[in-house]
Amino acid sequence: MKKLINGVESVLTESLKGFGEAHAGLVKVQFEPTFVMRADAPRRGKVGLISGGGAGHEPLHAGFVGHGMLDAACPGQVFTSPTPDQMLAAAQAVDGGAGVLFIVKNYAGDVMNFEMGADMLGQGHATVLVNDDVAVEDSTYTQGRRGVAGTVLVEKIVGAAAEAGADLATCKALGERVVAATGSMGVALTSCTVPAAGKPTFTLAEDEMEMGVGIHGEPGRRRVKLASADAIAEEMLGAILGHLKPKAGQEVLLLVNGFGGSPLMELYLLHHAAAKILGGKGLKIARSLVGNWTTSLEMAGASLTLLLLDEELTRLWDAPVETAALRWGR
């Protein structure tokens, strides 16, 4: 295992210290318990948005803390859920009096710990559960569909609404509407190596790929022979469109998300492959986002996410944002 680390036990702490130093004008990093919060939080009268999950998916979630997105993020150890005391401390730190909304990916550990944190907080909170992965309906790692890269879209759109003054009930309903209009699916070309494990999570032959892989290396739909980008896009979009069932002429947001080990050249090539397919089905790509947004350490591979847009969702997507990972309009 070759990694730029000092020791397995200090990876997360030292990484977060570096993140805080690099983005000191945007965020504050707190320890014992650990969470990242907006430098200008709490914002009086604003709904506080909080998300979190295991480290190893950077920039998710800490990279999306800032104006127009999250107020706080709770990072756990690599691929491990954060703990309830982290959620409680983050919520208390960013609550501006309008309540807090937890945005939770659908994994058993995340769901359980966020529920416990919310119970400890008491009143004035709500939860949006993100389950955009169409690759599986259920697995040993989830309670139904997994929450993956579509989480970024939920955080951006609900974040814009909260920034504009939407109340807690409105933010929750909006988040659930985005989840219902979003579908994702991924493919792995290689595994990744969790530092504490010191070896790849799984193995793939040189001519194999894992279709429908999860962001922690969970098994996908099946292991198949390596195919062209066009064929990969065709299968992933077929599953996503089968779930969303858009009408001809529908405007969509296309997110091409890298898992950490595939170069931008390949991600843009995959966007082109997806664009040809979507155009052939009468769908219009109105907005795009390409890059590493929900990674799986150094895994080679990518996921595609589609969001069915309407006028309100497009406006909120376009609203100003200033975080370590996403910035426009300010």
What is the C-alpha separation between 100 and 121, in angstroms, rounded?
Answer: 10
Do residues 21 and 152 share a domain?
yes
Q: What is the CATH number of the domain that holds 192?
A: 3.30.1180.20
Phi and psi dihedrals of 65, rounded to 5? -90, 125
1 lies in some domain? no
Give the active site residues.
Answer: 57, 216
Measure the CA–CA gap between 282 and 292, rounded to whole angstroms: 28
> Is residue 327 in a domain?
no
What residues make up the domain containing 176? Answer: 8-180
The answer as to whether 325 is a domain residue is: no
Claim to verify: residue 14 and residue 110 sit in the same structural domain: yes
Structural domain ending residue among the three candidates 128, 146, 180:
180
pLDDT at 39: 98
How many domains, in total, are found in the chain? 2
DSSP state of 70: B
pLDDT at 137: 59
Query: Which of 306, 328, 292, 186 is CA-nearest to residue 253?
Result: 306
- pLDDT on residue 140: 52
Separation between Cα atoms, residue 133 and residue 126, nearest integer Å = 22
DSSP string covering 199-264 = SBSS---TTEEEET--TT----SEEEE---HHHHHHHHHHHHHHHH-PPTT-EEEEEEEE-BSS-H
Q: Write down the pLDDT at residue 143.
A: 63
CA distance 279 to 283: 5
Quickly tell me which residue has 């320890």 as its tokens: 31
- How confident is the model at residue 213, as a pLDDT? 95
Q: How far is CA 182 from CA 134, 245, 261, 273, 305, in A?
A: 9, 11, 24, 19, 7
Q: Are 270 and 256 in contact (CB under 8 A)?
A: yes
DSSP state of 144: S
What is the full per-residue pLDDT of the chain (330 aa) written as tens digits?
899 999 999 999 999 999 999 999 999 999 999 999 999 999 999 999 999 999 999 999 999 999 999 999 999 999 999 999 999 999 999 999 999 999 999 999 999 999 999 999 988 999 999 999 999 755 554 467 899 999 999 999 999 999 999 999 999 999 999 999 999 999 999 999 999 999 999 999 999 999 999 999 998 888 999 999 999 999 999 999 999 999 999 999 999 999 999 999 999 999 999 999 999 999 999 999 999 999 999 999 999 999 999 999 999 999 999 999 999 998
pLDDT at 222: 87
The length of the chain is 330
At residue 220, the pLDDT reads 83
117 within some domain = yes
Domain final residue pick, 180, 200, 215: 180
